[in-house]
Amino acid sequence: MSANETGDVVAIPNGTTKYRRGLETRNRVIALTKSLISEHGYSEVTLDQISAQVGVAKSSLLWHFGSKEMLLAEAAISLFQEIELALRPDDLEGRPLAERVDDIFDRVADYFTRNPETKGVVMALLFSANTPQSVREHIREGWNGHVRVLVEALGTPERPLSPDIARLLVAIFHGAYCHWYANGRTQPIGDYLHPARDLFLNWISAENPSPR
């Protein structure tokens, strides 16, 4: 506490309060930047846009993040982490394999439906010459993480799922997304994913008649 010129007692934010406010501002900036990336594309987002929409001076943005590139990279990585958490099947252990396959495909369809721009942002970042290497590495590691999740979720002790097949499933998810988006998202994305799901289940049954 301190006194102002009139003698009134005023509160001075302590270190904890300043840290909390700084963290809140940082999280608010990242959340807004993610939405701008989704709306305009990674290379089109400017500090002026972010500053105006979040109500934080550019000098403060640079103090928090160091540079525009670091801010965009952190926002993009946060976006990828959301995808990873949404698709992580932590509750499938002990369920029949067919149910696990259905669950994985349903989670992918649900995420794409609720976040139709996100995967497109990731792909745009992958092919953009302006994307920082740290973001490219996070994309690569994120997709490798999806492969590991599928290997764990869809393999059985009797018939492990190979990383090669898991990578094929990731590629199928991406391909279904591209066709769905290119066709204007007029049909549920499940219509594009269901044939792949059925093909995968039929392949498992042909390889081993009793994995379910």
191-210 pLDDT, tens digit each: 999 999 999 999 887 766 55
Backbone angles phi, psi at 9, to 5 degrees: -90, 130
Task: List beta partners, residue 2.
Answer: 10
Secondary structure string (H, E, C) spanning 27-56: HHHHHHHHHHHHHHCHHHCCHHHHHHHHCC
pLDDT tens figures, 122-165: 887 788 887 888 888 888 888 898 899 899 888 888 889 999 99
Of 198 and 87, more confident: 198
Give the pLDDT confidence score for residue 212 in this predicted structure: 45
Please give the pLDDT value at position 48.
93
- 2-207 is classed in which CATH architecture? Orthogonal Bundle (1.10)
Tokens of 171: 């590629």
Report pLDDT for 184. 94
pTM for this prediction: 0.72
- Position 211 scores a pLDDT of 44
Q: Where are the chain's structural domains? A: 2-207
**Residue from 21, 139, 26 nearest 76 by CA:** 139
Question: Both tokens of residue 98?
Answer: 């067919």
